[in-house]
Amino acid sequence: MRTAVVGMSMGATCGVRDHAVVLAEALGRENVLCSMHWLGRSEESIGAARSEIRAWTRGLAAELDSSRPDAVLLHYSVFSYSYRGFPLFVRPTLSALRSSRIPLITVLHEFVFAAKLGGLRGKAWAATQRALLIAVMRASAAVVVTTDFRAEWLVSRPWLSRRPVVFAPVFSNLPPPAVRPRSDRGCQVIGLFGYSYREATVSVVLDALRMLEDRGLRVQLKLLGAPGPASELAEVWRAAARTRAIAQALSFSGVLSAQDLSDALAGCDVLLCVDPPGPTSRKTTLASSLASGTAVIALDGPRRWSELIESEAARVVQPTSLALADELDALLADESLRDALGARGRGFAERSMSVGRSAGAVADLLDDIVRAGQP
C-alpha cells in the first residue's frame, strides 16, 4: 500500500514531524510505503504566509494527482496550520487533499485549544479551532488520537461527523541509549525532558529541589533538550531558582542530537514528568523518559493514563512540592529501587508506547479504509 504523509511545522524543532517520520519508517515494516509531503514554514508576515501556503498546497495537489497513492495520512496539529493561533490554513490544505479524492486518515495531535486558558484570545482560538475541526472530521475517513479521553471527547460531540476513531499512544522518537554513565559526579542528577511549563509547575519542582537541599542532599536539576540555555524559558527557570537560592543546582543541556539526548536521559539518576494533566499517553517526553530505563516520577493530574498507573511504570505523586521531594528523597537513597522502577518503565514503553503498536494500528486502519473505498 502506498501512502502520502502530509503535514506542516513551525520552526526547526517539531515533535509532530519527528513522530511522522518515525511512524512512516515503521509503517514500511508493515508493508505500507510512505512518501513525505511536509512543509517547514518560514514566513513571518500574513501575506508571506498566505503565499507560502498557496504555493505548497498547489504543489501538493499536483504531487497527489501524479503519484495517486492509495491513501493520505495527515498529521494535524492545529497551531502549525494557523497564523498567530487562528487556523487560517486548514481549509486550503483540506481543499488540496479533497481535490485528489484519495481516502484521508488524520492523526489528531493537537486539535482544539482549551477555552478556559489564555483569556479572550484563548477563547477566540478555541472557537475558531473548533469550527475548523468540523471541516477536518468531515474530510477524514477515519482519525487517530493519542489518548483515550480524546477519543471519548470526539465521539461525544454531536456537532462533529462520526468517523472511526483509533487510539494509538505516542512513542519515543529517540534511539536506544548507547551508554548508561554512572560516574562519581559528587551529586545526583534529576532530569526533566521538556520544560515549557507555567509558573505554578516551575514552583512545585524548584520548591522540591530547595527542600532536598535543606535536607542535606546534593542534587542537580538538568533541563534537557530544546529550547536551551539562551531561551526565555531558561531565564524563567533561572529567575525562579535564584529566588530560592538554588541557582547553582540548575543546568541546561541545550539542544542535543537524538543519540546524545537519549544518552543524557539514561545518564540521569531520576527523571521527572510534571505535565499538569498528569502522565498521559500523548507525551513524547514521557515515552522517551520511560524508554531510557531511568526511574521516572510523575505528578498526578486529571488526565492520568490508567494503564500506566496500573503497570506501576512510574511513581505517581500528588502535585505538591512536599510529595515530590519525599519521593525523590526515597528514590535517590535506594539504587536498587531506582533500577527496578526504571526496568518497569522501559518494559512498559516497549509494550504500550512503542512505534510498533502505533504502526500496526494505523496500518490496519489504512487497510480497512482503502478496502472500503471511502473517499
Mean pLDDT of 226-254: 94
In the predicted structure, residue 68 carries a pLDDT above the cut 60: yes
In the predicted structure, residue 183 carries a pLDDT above the cut 60: no
In angstroms, the CA 196 to CA 89 distance is 26
Whether 340 and 366 map to the same domain: the answer is: no
Instruction: Examine residue 113 and state whether it is found in any structural domain, yes or no.
Output: yes
| pLDDT at res. 184 | 55
For 264-321, what is each residue's pLDDT tens digit?
Answer: 999 999 999 999 999 999 999 999 999 999 999 999 999 999 999 999 999 999 999 9
For 123-171, what is each residue's pLDDT tens digit?
Answer: 999 999 999 999 999 999 999 999 999 999 999 999 999 999 999 999 9
Whether 163 and 192 map to the same domain: the answer is: no
| pLDDT at res. 369 | 92
| pLDDT at res. 185 | 62
DSSP letters along 99-162, please?
A: HHT--EEEEEEE----TTSSHHHHHHHHHHHHHHHHHHHHH-SEEEESSHHHHHHHHT-TTS--
| pLDDT at res. 374 | 54
| pLDDT at res. 94 | 97
In angstroms, the CA 370 to CA 363 distance is 11
Whether 215 and 147 map to the same domain: the answer is: no
Instruction: Examine residue 177 and state whether it is found in any structural domain, yes or no.
Output: no
* Strand-by-strand arrangement of the 2-10 sheet: 33-41, 2-10, 71-77, 104-110, 142-145, 165-167
Whether 268 and 325 map to the same domain: the answer is: yes
Instruction: Examine residue 181 and state whether it is found in any structural domain, yes or no.
Output: no
Mean pLDDT of 323-333: 97
Whether 345 and 359 map to the same domain: the answer is: no
Write down the residue that cell numbers 496500518 correspond to.
363
To the nearest 10°, the Cα dihedral for 275, 277, 279, 283?
-70
Instruction: Examine residue 26 and state whether it is found in any structural domain, yes or no.
Output: yes
Whether 142 and 53 map to the same domain: the answer is: yes
The CATH number given to whatever domain includes residue 57 is 3.40.50.2000
DSSP letters along 103-118, please?
A: -EEEEEEE----TTSS
pTM: 0.89
For 103-117, what is each residue's pLDDT tens digit?
Answer: 999 999 999 988 777
In angstroms, the CA 236 to CA 198 distance is 9
Instruction: Examine residue 224 and state whether it is found in any structural domain, yes or no.
Output: yes
In the predicted structure, residue 373 carries a pLDDT above the cut 80: no
Instruction: Examine residue 182 and state whether it is found in any structural domain, yes or no.
Output: no
Instruction: Examine residue 180 and state whether it is found in any structural domain, yes or no.
Output: no
Whether 300 and 363 map to the same domain: the answer is: no
Residues whose CB is less than 8 angstroms from the CB of residue 135 and which lie 6 or more positions away in sequence, other chains included: 90, 91, 94
228 lies in which domain range?
188-352
In the predicted structure, residue 181 carries a pLDDT above the cut 70: no
Among candidate residues 6, 127, 148, 168, the one with its CA nearest the CA of residue 73: 6
Reduced to 3 states (helix: H, G, I; strand: E, B; else coil), residue 167 is strand
| pLDDT at res. 172 | 94
| pLDDT at res. 31 | 95
In angstroms, the CA 41 to CA 12 distance is 9
Domain count, the chain: 2
In the predicted structure, residue 336 carries a pLDDT above the cut 80: yes
For 31, counting Cβ atoms within 10 Å of its Cβ (0-12 exposed, 13-18 middle, 19+ buried), the class is exposed
Whether 206 and 135 map to the same domain: the answer is: no
For residue 145, the cross-strand partners are 108, 167
Whether 162 and 279 map to the same domain: the answer is: no
Whether 279 and 237 map to the same domain: the answer is: yes
Query: Nine-digit cell at 321?
Result: 512540592
In angstroms, the CA 86 to CA 49 distance is 13
| pLDDT at res. 270 | 97
Whether 363 and 343 map to the same domain: the answer is: no
Higher local confidence (pLDDT), 14 or 363: 363
Residues whose CB is less than 8 angstroms from the CB of residue 52 and which lie 6 or more positions away in sequence, other chains included: 39, 41, 42, 43
Mean pLDDT of 250-272: 95
| pLDDT at res. 261 | 96
Instruction: Examine residue 338 and state whether it is found in any structural domain, yes or no.
Output: yes
Residues whose CB is less than 8 angstroms from the CB of residue 291 and which lie 6 or more positions away in sequence, other chains included: 172, 174, 176, 345, 346, 349, 350, 353
Reduced to 3 states (helix: H, G, I; strand: E, B; else coil), residue 285 is helix
Whether 343 and 236 map to the same domain: the answer is: yes
In angstroms, the CA 65 to CA 97 distance is 10
For 184, counting Cβ atoms within 10 Å of its Cβ (0-12 exposed, 13-18 middle, 19+ buried), the class is exposed
As a whole number, the mean pLDDT across the chain is 93
For 70-126, what is each residue's pLDDT tens digit?
Answer: 999 999 999 999 999 999 999 999 999 999 999 999 999 999 988 777 788 889 999
